[in-house]
Structure 1
């Protein structure tokens, strides 16, 4: 029996097939979109730290990924027999099929979204928290946009799967492509020709919408975007605008003013390992304090407790004379977030938001906290000019060098107009030739009177910039002294050995020949 080509081609002008195509597109698009939204909620619930939220989501995903879609479609269509009140909706094959598809796809898409969510680096959330952004703001502005970009290729593939799964709805007589084809070949027995045409219709739908979704993926792919360096005229205009901004002078602390920061008997442990063992530290306004010590001594843990990135097990953090953080406090409480806005944090690995350009990285937090777009952008341009990166305002973080990214991170922290700046190994992730630019920016801040705590391995820099140097070892502050005392006094002998400095009056060390 020969293939009837004339009949095959005639099927592409048949109105019933094109109406069925519209039904397939509507059904697949709605099931994909609604399933994607519900799947995200399920993924978030499954990642929750609260058992009564996590457990039901996990059970739902397990159960509906285990049931064959065909069984679920038939069950849902017959559900009005058990619950007559659902008959007004579920007796319609379109709505029954849509409900069954959504229930199934939500379970599958939950795992896709979960993969995207756990792929967002922990440092991204910490950077948002350090800017005083709340939990919902973190999800909306930072986590979800990045997770969606990560998940999009798999979500596109899932849409193609949904289009093909719509053929199963033919079992409840929905007039979709396969149903139309079955009715035709039941009359003329031209099975091969009819099913071949049905296959072509599916290919056309998948190809068209797959192409549109791939264009969306390409649009969101930051690696495909051309670096946009501002031209000289634009830079000159922005420089002129930023010079009109009044300089922000840091008020001098008056007599009797409380210290900027006090750490009182701070204890911190990770499991059975105690990293901070009763730290007491007082920082006056305008002081620059460098924190040094061997790896594992608790330096980073110390400054992470200052702005609420780590809970403390005992003790209190006092900010400008007011209680800020106590042991057991909820670090996401409004009180803590309000205090965090006065403390800028610069991370070792930059933690810039990769889905936002440099200008948006700097304006994100001020705009979240209520500053107008125009004012926050003017301030951002001024800060970029301050760190020597004004021409790169429209670039994305991956288009900058490590040293440039760290300077942007400093500008982002300064955009919140903090009273205290924390630096966690700001140069350790940089190539040696890039370190100088970052240190110069920090030195400028010191000259302006910014209160700073700097965890660093740059020993010469620490001695040159600091009012005090804190030496930590085994969770304790072993020495709190001025750079001059460390160089000259006997108490600084252990620190000098750590730094590789010569003792006073000691002959310079020479290498053995």
Structure 2
């Protein structure tokens, strides 16, 4: 039996089909949007530290992914038989269909979002925390934009799925495409022609919106963005307009004034493994301390407690004479966050925000903390980029930069809030040897300006050259706190001193223990 092509083509001029298309688009789009928003809430609950909330979210996802949509549609539509008060709303097929689709799609969207959220590295959250951003600030400005970009292709695919699932709503007599087609072929028995036309309508809807979403994907694809390096003339014009490069926020310790930083009896354990066993350390304004020691000695853990990236089990950290962190403090408390804003942090793995330009990375914290002078903020950011030798790369994205360039941007980002102390957690260990020098030069320039700094490093020659004091850690304890000159020249036979000199590769012939 041949298809009636005349009848088939006539179906595309029927108003009832186009009205049904509008119904499908409205129902599918609303279900997708609402499900996407609620799915993100459920995904966040699944990743919550609260066990009860996490369990509820997991049960929701398990249940609504298990129940067939067709069963759910019939149940929701007949809900007024159990709860008569819901009759005025749920007796409307469109509303019942929307509720059923949202309940189902929220569960699927939650898993899509959870995958996106898990793909954002912990270092991104830590970088936001180190800039003084609260939980919501980290989520809305750092995590969510990255997670959505990661999840977008899957979310688009889910939109296509939702559009096709709307055909099931015909079971509760919603006048959508399939129901419209069913009513026609029940009258004229031209089943194949009618269903073929219905299929074409679905293809048209999916193709139209799919193309729009793919256009959005391409626009949001950071790898496609390749801003050029600014030429020398443009950089010179900017510098002329900006004026001199600002000095770091430095100070000189005055006898009798509170120390910049004091750590008293700091203890830290991971389960039964103790990484810090009662560390006491004092840092005066303008001091440059290099923290050295073998791997696993507690160096990184020590520096991370200073800006609350790691909680302390016992002890106290004092900042400018005021209690800053005590055991049991929440890292998001107002007192701790106020202190964090005075401390800049540069990470081993850079932790730049990939969805922002170099300039955007530097402006993130000032804008978040309420600065209203955007022109001045931009000027300061550009000056900082010039200071680290990267003004020509202001409009680029992190993926366009080398490791050494990214680390210098990270230094500029930390300086944007004009911190009183800078922390460096092995800033050169992730770099190729030829890139180390540029980063060390920037740190050295900060030391000459008088910036207070704590540097965890394996660069022994650099530590000897730049430091006022060298702190040697081993076994979670501070074993030695000494100046470079004393380390080189002290002739007293001391086993700890010998150990440190050997660790640093210094000649021990001048010291012979008795």
1:84, CA displacement in angstroms? Answer: 2.1
RMSD: 1.2
**Is the partner of 2:409 in helix, strand or coil?**
helix
State how far apart, in whole Å, the 2-side matches of 1:219 and 1:228 are.
17
State how far apart, in whole Å, the 1-side matches of 2:221 and 2:129 are.
26
Confirm or deny: 8 A CA contact 2:246 2:380 kept in the other structure: no
Are 1:493 and 2:498 an aligned pair? yes
State how far apart, in whole Å, the 2-side matches of 1:145 and 1:283 are.
38
State how far apart, in whole Å, the 1-side matches of 2:247 and 2:441 are.
19
Confirm or deny: 8 A CA contact 1:488 1:504 kept in the other structure: no
Confirm or deny: 8 A CA contact 1:77 1:172 kept in the other structure: yes
Task: Evaluate the alpha carbon distance shift between residue 244 and residue 499 of structure 1 in structure 2; reply closer, same or farther with a 3 A threshold.
Answer: closer
Match of 2:140 in 1: 140
State how far apart, in whole Å, the 2-side matches of 1:106 and 1:214 are.
22
State how far apart, in whole Å, the 1-side matches of 2:360 and 2:78 are.
52
Are 1:395 and 2:400 an aligned pair? no
Match of 1:421 in 2: 422
1:146, CA displacement in angstroms? Answer: 0.6
Are 1:300 and 2:300 an aligned pair? yes
State how far apart, in whole Å, the 1-side matches of 2:72 and 2:151 are.
26
**Is the partner of 2:237 in helix, strand or coil?**
helix
What does the per-residue CA deviation read over 1:215-243, in whole Å, with 9 as the maximum and x for residues that have no partner?
11111110011233223332112211332
State how far apart, in whole Å, the 1-side matches of 2:139 and 2:101 are.
27
Once the two structures are superposed, the pairs formed by residues 83-482 of structure 1 within 5 Å of their partners are 83-243=83-243, 247=247, 250-372=250-372, 373-482=374-483
Confirm or deny: 8 A CA contact 1:343 1:419 kept in the other structure: yes
State how far apart, in whole Å, the 1-side matches of 2:437 and 2:244 are.
29
1:499, CA displacement in angstroms? Answer: 1.3
Task: Evaluate the alpha carbon distance shift between residue 463 and residue 247 of structure 1 in structure 2; reply closer, same or farther with a 3 A threshold.
Answer: closer
1:52, CA displacement in angstroms? Answer: 2.2
* TM-score with structure 2 setting the length: 0.97
Match of 2:47 in 1: 47
Confirm or deny: 8 A CA contact 2:472 2:480 kept in the other structure: yes
1:505, CA displacement in angstroms? Answer: 4.7
What does the per-residue CA deviation read over 1:451-487, in whole Å, with 9 as the maximum and x for residues that have no partner?
0000000000000000000011111111110111111
**Is the partner of 1:170 in helix, strand or coil?**
helix
State how far apart, in whole Å, the 2-side matches of 1:138 and 1:228 are.
29
Match of 1:509 in 2: none
State how far apart, in whole Å, the 1-side matches of 2:271 and 2:208 are.
54
State how far apart, in whole Å, the 1-side matches of 2:258 and 2:310 are.
24
Confirm or deny: 8 A CA contact 2:248 2:415 kept in the other structure: no
* TM-score with structure 1 setting the length: 0.97
Task: Evaluate the alpha carbon distance shift between residue 134 and residue 321 of structure 1 in structure 2; reply closer, same or farther with a 3 A threshold.
Answer: same
State how far apart, in whole Å, the 2-side matches of 1:272 and 1:211 are.
55
State how far apart, in whole Å, the 1-side matches of 2:510 and 2:328 are.
50
Match of 2:508 in 1: 503
**Is the partner of 2:450 in helix, strand or coil?**
coil
Confirm or deny: 8 A CA contact 2:249 2:451 kept in the other structure: no
Q: Which 5+ residue runs of structure 2 have no aligned equivalent?
A: none
Q: Which 5+ residue runs of structure 1 have no aligned equivalent?
A: 507-513
State how far apart, in whole Å, the 2-side matches of 1:375 and 1:256 are.
36
State how far apart, in whole Å, the 2-side matches of 1:233 and 1:458 are.
37
State how far apart, in whole Å, the 2-side matches of 1:381 and 1:289 are.
28
Q: Which moved more, 1:56-65 or 1:435-444?
A: 56-65
Task: Evaluate the alpha carbon distance shift between residue 245 and residue 488 of structure 1 in structure 2; reply closer, same or farther with a 3 A threshold.
Answer: closer
State how far apart, in whole Å, the 2-side matches of 1:374 and 1:83 are.
59
**Is the partner of 1:49 in helix, strand or coil?**
coil
State how far apart, in whole Å, the 2-side matches of 1:47 and 1:127 are.
19
What does the per-residue CA deviation read over 1:350-394, in whole Å, with 9 as the maximum and x for residues that have no partner?
000001111110010111111122222111001001000001111
State how far apart, in whole Å, the 2-side matches of 1:248 and 1:108 are.
50
Q: Which moved more, 1:76-85 or 1:293-302?
A: 76-85
What does the per-residue CA deviation read over 1:67-100, in whole Å, with 9 as the maximum and x for residues that have no partner?
1001111111111222222222211111110111
**Is the partner of 1:219 in helix, strand or coil?**
helix
Q: State the number of aligned residues.
A: 506
**Is the partner of 1:202 in helix, strand or coil?**
helix
1:248, CA displacement in angstroms? Answer: 5.8
Confirm or deny: 8 A CA contact 1:487 1:504 kept in the other structure: no
Task: Evaluate the alpha carbon distance shift between residue 364 and residue 249 of structure 1 in structure 2; reply closer, same or farther with a 3 A threshold.
Answer: closer
State how far apart, in whole Å, the 1-side matches of 2:345 and 2:245 are.
24
1:435, CA displacement in angstroms? Answer: 0.3
